[in-house]
Structure 1
């Protein structure tokens, strides 16, 4: 897979002139990083969340050594310094959940975080969720989700019980593939959910057809995963300059353009690109402020990646 650093470097160089021309032409001295991050409300409560969050699959699956934890701590601090909050993890991410818990326990980070995790499998029960709470060093999980909708008939009642007991504030379901969306649509129609988590990107757009409009109708928050299509979108644009319209959105990198594509959908509450690199975290954050593409420009972005 191409190294994202090369894309960042190339995109910055290719678009610097366009971006600076746009800002000066419109009399805007501030950069995206100097403006407030966009917030979106969770429909079931009205609580506002910052749109840019953090996924931890693979990225946080490390041994808890000072050398391994140092850049991950910087990733979290970069997120929080910009006003971000959402961190998504899972026990199936091997060491990642424990790493998140260890880092949140330091330097007052827990108070700044909206922590989402998952349960799955027929063996899952209250005892497993209590172990997750211990792993994360929290008394209450912000969002507890049925991972990939596995065993949802058993687990959703359990999650509701945990919500009633005050062990989680919100409940939801997740998946990472378009093939699962019919089942997710069925559950959104039948169940009382606070969140769904699903994939959306300029390269994977199926969620926009039926699932996202249904979430808007039912008042369900939407968390977006795989906004770079597992890195494949960077391969599509290898060595290509950003399109001219990227500057109109304040985007200086491909990552920012991809993220703004998903954030711009009105059903989307937040997006959780995974990274272990502080520079990538800082780059992702810039997509959370400034102008967003309208429907026509989103179509142009999708067409650009299709081409």
Structure 2
């Protein structure tokens, strides 16, 4: 899988990961968890590593922790989770619970979810990074209405990561946030690369354009992921899935070439949504 640099450290990340919202919020039954174990197996086998989760994703953190422990694959994972609560003490308690559920002594990326009380959590996050309890610090949001506030936060502090929404039919971040991240050396995780799922559903009944083969795409999902990854400011895309066949499809967007400027323009103009 292709790799991209994390600007703040010089380390690298594989360009396709997996999100766990809804998809990993399951019970303990083997038939519920077996497909998710296969999703992670496919991700790692393809060279991917990023697993994004959150306390707000129901049972997802605990499921991820159990699956990694059972397969002994924690070392292959880049674990990203979030703090999503008001108050410093509450934030500490929530992050400690996340570490326990994920069965790890160190979180690779701790993100302030939806910017909630970020100023209050930042001193704790900085201290935990210095102590080695977290490797990287970030902030997230998933709505265009929050982009103005997100821009101010990215300008205010030297964050390692930002997670934001970006898709072929949701390109607002191209105007300011992606250039700002590149300018300030902030790695970018992209959520909702399929337009929250709506874009992919709209395209599913249409034949794949012949020019998709120019960039090695054999599905709409790969084409939409490669659109996002064509932007050099993007570090990793994290489409959510709990289905092995979808994960197998998604990781193919992590290899080969990406659209050039001419092809990107064609994609925008020809793919009516």
Give the shorter-chain TM-score range.
over 0.9
In the alignment, the residues of structure 1 paired with residue 169 and residue 58 of structure 2 have an alpha-carbon distance, to the nearest angstrom, of: 28
Q: Let me know the Cα RMSD of the aligned residues.
A: 1.1
1:159 aligns with 2:125: yes
Quick one: higher RCO (CA 8 Å, sep 6+), 1 or 2? 1
Large movers: runs of 4+ above 3 Å: none
CA contact (8 A) 1:72 1:278 kept: yes
1:276 pairs with 2:242? yes
Asked if residue 122 in structure 1 is aligned to residue 86 in structure 2, the reply is yes
Matched, 1:186 2:156: no
- Give aligned pairs, total: 271
Please, which runs of 5 or more residues in structure 2 have no aligned partner?
Answer: none
2:16 match: 52
Q: 1:138 aligns with which of 88, 96, 104?
A: 104
**Contact 1:221 1:268 (8 Å CA) reproduced:** yes
Q: Does 1:263 align with 2:263?
A: no
Equivalent pair of 2:217/2:223 in contact (CA under 8 Å):
yes
Cα deviations by residue, 1:84-124 (Å, 9 ceiling, x for unpaired): 00000001101111100111112221010000000012143
| Contact 1:75 1:281 (C-alpha < 8 Å) held by counterparts | yes
- TM (norm. structure 1) is 0.86
8 A contact 1:203–1:306 mirrored in 2: no
Residue 164 of structure 2: SS of its match in structure 1? strand
The counterpart of 1:222, out of the listed 188, 199, 202, is: 188
Q: Counterpart in 2 of 1:63?
A: 27
Q: Which runs of 5+ in 1 are unaligned?
A: 1-36
28, 37, 43: which one pairs with 1:79?
43
* Distance in structure 1 (CA, Å) of the matches to 2:76 and 2:253: 20
> 1:103 aligned to 2:67?
yes
Deviation at 1:248, TM superposition (A): 0.4
Please state how far the C-alpha of 1:234 moved relative to its aligned partner: 2.0
Select between 39-48 and 242-251 the one with higher mean Cα deviation: 242-251
Counterpart CA distance in 2 for 1:253 and 1:81 is 20
2:197 aligned with 1:231: yes
Report deviation, 1:160: 1.2
